[in-house]
Structure 1
Amino acid sequence: MNFHQVQMGSLPSVLKIFRRVKSELKNQKNDQWKWIYPNRSNYKADLRNGSMYGISYGDELIAVVTLDNMQSKRYQLISWNDKDGKPCCIHRLAVDPSHQGKGLGKVLLQYIENFAIRNGYTSVRIDVYKINETAKALYIRNGYEERGEVRYPMRKHTYVTMEKQLCKLS
C-alpha cells in the first residue's frame, strides 16, 4: 500500500470511490453524504489545492482523505484540548466499500497522524455523523476523544467533533 498526494488525473477514481461510499451509506439509511455534499466541486478543489491524499493498492486508488487546517466556523464553540496549537483537519475520508473491514481505516489514521506530525500540526480534528457508529468507534479505538457536537444544514443528525492530541506544546 502506498500513501500519496492524489493528482487531478485520478479524478475518475476519486469519483468512483465517493459514488460507492454514498451508495453504501444510503443502503445503511445514513444520510450523511448526499448529492449536495461532498460533490465534484469539492473533490476538484481538494485536488487543485494539493490537499487530497490517498492509499493505492497496486494501481488502484482505494481510499482518500482531505487534510488541511480549514475548520468550520461551528468549531469555535467547541472546547478543544489543543487551544494554542496547529490542528490538522480531516475532511471527506472515504474507503472504497470493497476494501472496508480490512483495517484500512486504522492504517489511514496512522498515515494522517504521521503526515500531521511531519507538517508541524499538534492535533488532528474531525467531525463524524452522529449515527455513524462504525466511524466513531474507529476514532475512539485510535485515541480520538469526543469534544462536542455541531449541526450542519440539511442533516437530520448532529456531527460529533473529535480530536487527538499529537504533541504537547511547551
Structure 2
Amino acid sequence: MNVQQVQMRDYSSVLAVFSGVKAALSKEKNDQWKWIYPNRFIHKSDIQSGTMYGIKEGNEYVAVVTLDDKQSKSYQSLVWRDSRGKPGCMHRLAVHPSRQGQGLGKLLLNYAENFAQNKGHTSIRIDVYRINEAAIALYKKNGYVEVGEVRYPFRKYSYITMEKLFFIT
C-alpha cells in the first residue's frame, strides 16, 4: 500500500474516514473528536494546502494524516527536547475503524517520519488525547517521548504532547 497526497476530489472519502473514527470514539465515550474538531473546514484546508496524505484501498481512503510545521500556540509553554532544530508536526492521524489493527497507523507514522526528515525537520511533534491509549501506545512503541500536556477547549481531558527526535540538536 502506498501513501499519497490527498486531492480535493477525494474529500467525501476523507469525510467517511473521520466520520467512522468519530462514531467509534463516541461509542467508547471518548470526546476527542466531536463536531467542532476536526471539521470540514479543517479537512478542506489540509487538502487544499497539500498537507494531507493517505492510504487508498480501491477508490476510497482508509487512513489519513496531516503533516506540516504548524504548532499549536499551546506548545510555546512546553520545554521541547528539540529546542534549536526545525520541528515538523503530525495532526489528525486517522484509520477507519474497519481497518484498524492492520498496521495502517504504523505505515502512516513511518511515512510521516520519513517525510519530515526529507523536508529537513529535526523532529516531529504531536499531541494525543489522554484517554486514547491505543494511539499513545503506538507513539511510545515507535520512539516518541512525552514532553508535557496541553488543554484545548470543550475537552474533558488534556492532550499529552509527544516528540521524536531525528537528529541530536
Q: TM-score per shorter chain, which class?
A: over 0.9
What is the one-letter code of the residue matched to 2:83?
K
Q: How does 1:6-155 map to 2 (within 5 A)?
A: 6-155=6-155
Q: Which moved more, 1:52-61 or 1:135-144?
A: 52-61
Q: TM-score, normalised by structure 2?
A: 0.97
What is the one-letter code of the residue matched to 2:159?
Y
Q: Let me know the Cα RMSD of the aligned residues.
A: 0.8
Structure 2: distance between partners of 1:35 and 1:64:
18
What is the one-letter code of the residue matched to 2:113?
E
In the TM superposition, residue 135 of structure 1 has moved relative to its aligned partner by 0.5
Q: What is the percentage of aligned positions where both structures have the same residue?
A: 61
> What is the total number of aligned residue pairs between the two structures?
169
Structure 2: distance between partners of 1:57 and 1:162:
30
Structure 2: distance between partners of 1:167 and 1:156:
35
Q: Which residue does the alignment assign to 1:161?
A: 161
1:39-81 Cα distance to aligned partner (Å, 9 max, x none): 0000001111111111123433111111110001110111111
In the TM superposition, residue 107 of structure 1 has moved relative to its aligned partner by 1.3
Displaced runs of 4+ in structure 1, greater than 6 A?
none
Gaps of 5+ in 2: none
Structure 2: distance between partners of 1:40 and 1:99:
22
